[in-house]
Structures are given as C-alpha cells and as structure tokens.
C-alpha cells in the first residue's frame, strides 16, 4: 500500500524513516499513547481507519488491538505544522497502554497545576 505522494512529501521522518504518532481519544480529548509510523503504516491507517503502527523493536507492523482486542477506530488524522508528528483522533475500546491502563500518561505526573504565567 503506497502513501499518497502529496502526504509523503510533507513528512519529516527520523533517520529510520519514522514519524511520531500520538493517539487522542475523540470523546474526552485524553492523550492515550505515542507510537511510531512509517509511510506504509500511515497509508494503512488512512485506508482502513484502524490504527496501524510500526514496532521498532520487532521491525514489523501492528494494528492496535489485533491481539488484545483494545482497538482504535480512527476518525481523524492530522499532520502537525512541522510535518514530524501525526495526531490520530480515535475511539478507544479497552486499554490504550500495554500496561492495561486506559492511557499511557496517567502514572507519572512530573508537573501539575499552578498559576498561568503572568497571573
């Protein structure tokens, strides 16, 4: 499956040919997870609306939920202004994180609260 050349031309990839992919829950706005995509993974995601990522450790594609049942149905895919990150707006079924939690960003809060600058 080939990525549309117009989209491919806008991507700024790592040396490994990857772009960061952030999954955000459509209903809540929660940031669920971050993974990597190459052109093929992005093309598959756009064609199927099933979040497809590239595993750097296994060097293979994986469809979110294919083995766990914790699927991501993709409603929107957006490219950031620099072309180096894609945002997937998804309906998440089950846990997004491989640890079994709903989001990968709920365990270690490094900074929270506080006044806005200038207030």
Residue-wise DSSP of 59-113: TEEEETTTTTS--EEEEEEEE-TTSSEEEEEEEE-S-SSTTSSS-TTSS--SS--
Count of the separate structural domains present in the chain: 1
User: pLDDT tens, 50-87?
Assistant: 999 999 999 999 999 999 999 999 999 999 999 999 99
Residue 68 lies in domain = 31-95
Residue 11 and residue 8: Cα distance in Å, rounded? Answer: 5
Contact call for residues 65 and 93 (beta carbons, < 8 A): yes
Q: Is residue 88 assigned to a domain?
A: yes
The pLDDT confidence band at residue 118, using thresholds 50, 70 and 90, is confident
The verdict on pTM exceeding 0.85 is yes
Q: What is the CATH number of the domain that holds 37?
A: 3.10.20.810
100 found inside a domain: no
């Amino acid at each position: 499956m080939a990525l549309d050349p117009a989209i491919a031309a806008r991507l700024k990839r790592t040396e490994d040919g990857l772009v960061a992919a952030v999954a955000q829950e459509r209903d809540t706005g929660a940031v669920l997870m971050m993974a990597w995509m190459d052109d093929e993974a992005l093309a598959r995601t756009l064609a199927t609306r099933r979040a497809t990522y590239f595993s750097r450790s296994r060097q293979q594609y994986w469809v979110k939920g294919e083995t766990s049942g914790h699927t991501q149905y993709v409603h929107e895919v957006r490219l950031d202004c620099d072309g180096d990150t894609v945002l997937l707006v998804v309906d998440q079924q089950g846990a997004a994180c491989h640890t079994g939690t709903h989001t990968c960003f709920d365990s270690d809060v490094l900074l929270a609260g506080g006044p806005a600058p200038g207030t």
